[in-house]
Structure 1
Amino acid sequence: MTEPPAASPRPPTPAQSRETRARVAPWIERTPVRRWIPDPGVASLPAGVELFLKLELFQRTGSYKVRGALNNVLCADAETLRRGVTAVSAGNHAISVAYAARAAGTSAKVVMLSSANPARVARCRNFGAVIEFADDGASGFARMEEIAREEGRLGIHPFEGEATVFGTSTVGLEVAEQLPDLEALVVPIGGGGLISGTASIVKQLAPACRVYGVEPVGADSMRRSLDAGEPVALDRIDTIADSLGAPHAAPYSFGLVQRYVDDVVLVDDDAMRSALKALFLDAKLVAEPASAAPLAAACGPLRERLEGRRVGLVLSGSNIDLDTFGTHLRAAD
């Protein structure tokens, strides 16, 4: 961890996280934790590691994103909800915002990237959202802000802001309750919304637990931001983990990562494909590449630091179609 900036962002407290969980509880799952002892021929884990999987891929809407989306919607006043909500996303956030809007009885207009998986687009539509498309993340964010301004809709950011991060903090709360003796936790990073909320609570309830983030080599905005000492934007995204392809880091979540995360490491696409295959063959889980990133990090750049420890991996989502999943399996080592 590095020293927080002078104007450090306000983290969610455990009490606030419990309040958030109570607010969203009717519409989410308290996802299970599973101990996993893989066949050594499938996944080469660090020596002596005891591994636990936090199965957010079993969450409603197929990813953890629903926690933050719901908290944004449920914290809004009636007049705001009358005008509806909007969001920008490659898929998981859009699906979750559409679900949250339906749960609250309002409408959603979301901007999805033109490269979004068709199965994710279809699922978003099934929850009742109106969808527009953008060529890239920068234009998508700009269009979301335009919709919010012109139509008065509540813009729900995919990874920034207290309402979103307080929602993701409930993942950390559950981990701390389910695995009170955990020594290390590995969390995937897109924009930083999941890890900032999760790490904030884990570090407050279990200060000795190390929290590590993992990003794709081709979408490393948080690692670059930490190196620069401030949030930075990427010129280009190049990774199979589209859920981790945030075009920039943002001040609030970045500040919490600075304060509570011990390190952020990088993995390449091949490592994620191998980890995805191991999860499928041995754990019998269908994961998207973002969910495989923590296992790739545990078997790669974090290997020595995790030896002999009780380690949790947050598996963040499973919104992937059969054709894409099969392509990744066939390409894996």
Structure 2
Amino acid sequence: MVGPTLDAIVAAKAEAQADLIETPVLPLTSARWDGILPDCAGVTVKLELFQQAGSFKARGALLGIRHLTAAQRAAGVVAASGGNHALAVSWAAQAAGVDALIMMPKATDPARIAGCEALGATVRLHDDMAAAFAAMNAAAERGRALMHPFEAEHMVLGAATCGYEYVTQAPQVDTFIIPIGGGGMISGMACAIKQMRPDARVIGVEPFGADSMSQSFAAGEPVRIDRVATIADSLGAPLAMPLSYGVARAYVDDIVKIEDRAMLAAMDIYQNVLRITAEPACAASLAAMIGPLKEDLSGRQVGIIACGSNISLARYAALMAAL
């Protein structure tokens, strides 16, 4: 068995359900979607942006902090992130009374920094994500409990509870389109989906400028890419790592790549049709469905995920100005 078992996923969902939101699944049946959606049997979107701390990351962060030992709680936790994971760890740590140290790149949206600080976390800024990760690892070596943004069993398990929910809420869906950053979300969701619906297709989505998982699939092992270049900072992992790569490789059927401009167009659609202010990663599934996958989805019941929306209005406006 690669990844968490279905029994473990069900147990994790039961353990955390009092503190998490079972986010809604919305069928995209309004006439306002006419001419946008592919010619498929149906489309639903799981609105995980309404999760605690604004993204799916809250699931894994909560499980990780709940499972700390007494000594680890006393030492505090450390994480590196440009946004969603940072906010999730800050939220889960505050709820548990655990001190949180968050390493973030200097280019991080100021609203995300302020959000972490409002939740009681200490934020330290670094030149870039690589420097933030190095600082995270150094703090862990000095004794803090490491809360890695994707390469951790609790992160995969947390994402698996999202996949379990989706299949339970929308059992008709036979094709799931899931964004890929470091691989924590797609590995966990795919693991749950395939155990519940072995015949379902799971398709990952990466920006062309952050395609570490695509390159890893091609190489047959986790690889690091030379450069990250995408507006989707939540999908900007510079490498794949053994755990999340291994689980994803076992359950993901295919990966497609999308341009940044396609995410901007999908963000605009979410705003105009659902009145959702989506960050780029949040719009990636929609962008892939109406873009490179559009001709392959005929007759399918498609499920996409709006995975998070931690973006300031200033950052959103700056991005949309380029559309």
Q: 2:93 aligns with which of 90, 101, 108?
A: 101
For 2:42, the equivalent position in structure 1 comes to 50
Which residue is 1:135 aligned to? 127
* Whole-angstrom CA distance in 2 between matches of 1:97 and 1:159: 12
Q: Deviations over 1:218-260 (max 9, x none)?
A: 1111011111111111221111111000111010110111110
TM-score, normalized by length of structure 1? 0.94
TM-score (norm 2): 0.97
The one-letter code matched in structure 2 to 1:82 is A
Q: Would you say the 8 A contact 1:72–1:156 is kept in 2? A: yes
Letter in 2 for 1:210: R
Distance in 1 between the 2:281 and 2:180 partners?
8
Question: Where does structure 1 differ by over 6 angstroms across 4 or more consecutive aligned residues?
Answer: none
Deviation at 1:261, TM superposition (A): 0.4
Question: Secondary structure at the residue paired with 2:74?
Answer: helix
Distance, in Å, in 2 between the alignment partners of 1:19 and 1:319 is 28
2:118 aligned residue:
126
The equivalences for 1:129-208 within 5 A come to 129-150=121-142, 152-208=143-199
Q: Tell me which amino acid in the other structure corresponds to 2:220.
A: G
Please report the RMSD computed on the Cα atoms of aligned residues, expressed in angstroms: 1.4
**TM superposition shift of 1:39:** 5.0
1:282 aligns with 2:273: yes
Q: What residue in structure 2 maps to residue 87 of structure 1?
A: 79
Cα distance between partner residues in 2 of 1:20 and 1:219: 30
Shift in Å at residue 44 of structure 1? Answer: 2.4
Would the aligned equivalents of 1:43 and 1:278 in 2 still touch at CA under 8 Å?
no
Q: How does 1:1-333 map to 2 (within 5 A)?
A: 10-37=2-29, 39=31, 44-150=36-142, 152-332=143-323
For structure 1, which runs of at least 5 residues remain unmatched after alignment?
A: 1-8
1:249-300 CA deviation, whole Å, 9 max, x = no partner?
Answer: 0101101111100101100011001111011101221111101110110011
AA in 2 matched with 1:77: T
Q: Tell me, what secondary structure is at the counterpart of 1:186?
A: strand
Task: Indicate conservation of the 8 Å contact 1:295/1:313, yes or no.
Answer: yes
Unpaired runs of 5+ residues, structure 2, are: none
* Contact map agreement 1:23 1:74 (CA 8 A) in 2: no
Cα distance change of structure 1 residues 194 and 294 upon mapping to structure 2, 3 Å threshold: same
Q: CA deviation at 1:13?
A: 1.2
Amino acid at match of 2:86: A
Q: Report the Cα offset of residue 64 of structure 1.
A: 0.5
The one-letter amino acid of 2:221's match is E
